Chains A and B, each alone.
Chain A
Amino acid sequence: MSNWKHLSVSGGIIVLLILVPLIFTRTDILTFFFLTLLYITLSQSWNILGGYTGQINLGHAAFFGAGALAARYIWLHFGLPLPLAILGGGLAATIFAMIIGFPAFRLRGIYFVIGTLVLAEILRLVFYTILPRADVMPMRLLGAYSLIPRYYLSLLIALLTVAAVYWISRSRLGLGLMSIREDEDAAEASGVDTQRYKLLAFAISTFLTGLAGGIYAYYSAAFRAGGLFEPVWTFDAVIIVFVGGVGTILGPVIGSVFFVLLKQFLSLYLPGGIHVAVFGVLFIIVVLFLPGGLVELITRFRKRTSGGSIQIDS
């Protein structure tokens, strides 16, 4: 696909997304779009560390939760303006990440995986205990609640995240990250400051996750603090990235749309939660047989239909 065509397709999609609230007024449809965009941010930000750098972070929820909690407090309890609050959420997540980043990256491979999982679990348990009561939006805000600003904010941050990953994938930084994914020792030996690169990827990843948390804090009418750290926030992101296509830009986007659609669809016919099992099966299939996920499937299909002349730029 030529650059020009690429640009116009992306532009068209963005224009359509901007028009969504004008076309659809039904709350459930708008919620669907909102959630899809939130998941794009959540999974795409995970993709930076998990996909491009090869560091499977099972503690993503810790940074989502930190961002959401910080944003909620800044916005509702300290009464500062919303943009500041969401930015604050992103920063809180990054600061937290930088504090734990140094010891965390001493862990390699599966030790990093379980270490991060346990970290989020500790936060979940602690926050359920110290903040046991639900944080409910005050009545004056609930009365004026509208999905439309939340939708646009979610769109903005999803676009920002996708753009950030696009930039990373074409930069020296991205090259360094991918060299760490392929072989960390070799990267180190060839002069990549792996610790610094990993920390940088971690900082960007958690900042964007924190922003997603901030949006959730703005969106959710009521939550319990511990719930923000539930592993499901991590797991959904991981499944979406793998099923969509790990280490690609399109993967998390396609994965998120597919995930939210399938979730809605299955909830019509099957008991709640069964979509997780279906995605678990898809996840295993991807790990065993289709390491490139849906993106690879689409590429293969297009290659076959067009005799191999078109390549999806991912």
Chain B
Amino acid sequence: MTFGLVAQTFVNGINIGAMYGLIAVGLSLTFGVMKILNVAHGEFLMVGGYMAFWLFTLFDIDPLLGLPLIGIALFLLGAICYKLLFSGLARFHEETKVKNTLLVSFGLFLIFPQVARWLWTGDERAITPVYSGESFPILGVRCGYVPLAGLLVAVVVILALHLLLTKTYFGKSIRATTENWKSAKLMGINVDRTYLITFALGAALAGLAGVLVGMTQSVAPDMGMQWTLKALIVLVLAGIGSIGGAFFAGLILGVVEAVSANLPYIGPYTVALGLVIFLLILMLRPQGLFGKEG
């Protein structure tokens, strides 16, 4: 491979990896804080992508400008889902809670793609503002404006989340709830509300990732599961609880995939490769996969 090709592959990998990071961080939050493994997490990404598509085609709103709107919309959608479906399960015994919330999210995963198919048909859609095809060269590598914007958005969102969790009282209450929910309650933290907001926040993050995916790739009703799986791979690589770790693991997965896609023999199996890595790590650390203690 020439330098140009290597560098180009690397750049592409980082661009996709930023989205992996974004989707994984949301899943990490919901799993870390309330032990909900939300297999419908990727569905929020899909909905976010379609909403950006709607804003763009119906109201001519640039997807990047629409980001805050979509963040808010998905936050509300996440909050409604949590309030209606998950909040009642929060009081159950840990093991039952983990299992039943997983099942409920599985039900959501069945519903969302069908509703999307009904609303937006099964066709793949892409969001294409005028600048979408344009790029600029650096050292012989072509950098698209859209992927670059996507990377920037991802970095800004992750930084903002990091500041929220480490600098604000609310963020600290989220972390405290993650570490010991009973103690958190005894501090006067309204744990039910923390759960609600965290779940909604996770959905909003997935929605933002969806906009970026819609701009750089495309959206389709069935895309959710693939993105949930990507998020799971990233989480296994990074462990739960570290926002920065999840983001960097996302970048690494993106680059590994981009490189592997260019290799002979392995190329066609790139997607499966990530999943195999996932399974191997899962086997090696069967209990305490996410976080320090099981």
Contacts and interface: CB of A to CB of B under 8 A. Distances in A.
* A and B in direct contact, judged by CB atoms within 8 A: yes
Interface of A: 56, 103, 106-111, 113-115, 118-119, 121-122, 125-126, 129, 231, 235, 238-239, 242, 271, 273-274, 276-277, 279-281, 283-284, 287-288
B157 interface: no
Contacts of B110: 235, 239, 276-277, 279-280, 283
Interface string B225-245: 100010010000000000000
B194 to A, nearest CB: 22
A284 B85 contact: yes
Given A111-B289, A274-B114, A118 B95 contact: no
Contacts, number: 101
Contact of B102 (A106, A110, A122, A235): A110
Given A103-B283, A110-B37, A242-B103, A280 B114 contact: yes
Given A106-B286, A107-B282, A281 B111 contact: yes
B140 interface: no
Interface in B75-117: 85, 88-89, 95, 98-100, 102-104, 106-111, 113-115, 117
A122 B271 CA distance: 8
Contacts of B229: 118, 121
Contacts of A280: 107-111, 114
B270 to A, nearest CB: 9
Given A118-B229, A277-B115, A108 B286 contact: yes
B279 interface: yes
Given A111-B282, A118-B279, A288-B85, A273 B225 contact: no
A271 B98 CA distance: 34
B118 interface: yes
Contacts of B108: 280, 284
B107 A281 contact: yes
A113 B102 contact: yes
Interface residues of B, number: 39
The interface residues of chain B, by DSSP majority, are classed as: helix
B275 A118 contact: yes
Nearest to B221: A273
B272 interface: yes
B156 interface: no
Given A119-B279, A280-B111, A281-B111, A129 B269 contact: yes
Contacts of A129: 268-269, 272
Given A273-B113, A287-B104, 8 more contacts: A114-B232, A115-B282, A121-B275, A129-B269, A242-B103, A271-B118, A273-B117, A280-B110
20 contacts: A110-B99, A114-B39, A118-B229, A118-B282, A122-B275, A125-B275, A129-B272, A242-B103, A273-B117, A276-B111, A277-B110, A279-B110, A280-B109, A280-B110, A281-B107, A283-B103, A283-B106, A284-B104, A287-B100, A288-B104
A5 B107 CA distance: 38
Interface in B155-194: none
B6 interface: no
A231 B110 CA distance: 11
Contacts of B115: 277
B263 interface: no
A277 B111 contact: yes
B98 A109 contact: yes
A231 B284 CA distance: 25
Contacts of A113: 37, 102
A118 B107 CA distance: 18
B276 interface: yes
A57 to B, nearest CB: 13
B278 interface: yes
B132 interface: no
Nearest to A120: B275
B287 interface: yes
A122 B107 contact: no
B114 A109 contact: no
Contacts of B287: 108, 111
A103 B283 CA distance: 7
A163 B232 CA distance: 39
Interface string B250-284: 00000000000000000011011001101100110
Contact of B225 (A122, A231, A288): A231
A107 B286 CA distance: 5
Given A109-B95, A242-B103, A288 B272 contact: no
A126 B269 contact: yes
Contacts of A125: 269, 271-272, 275
B104 to A, nearest CB: 6
Q: Would you list the 3 A-B pairs with minimal beta carbon distance, nearest first?
A: A280-B110, A277-B114, A284-B107
**Most B CB within 10 A of own CB, among A110, A271, A279:** A110
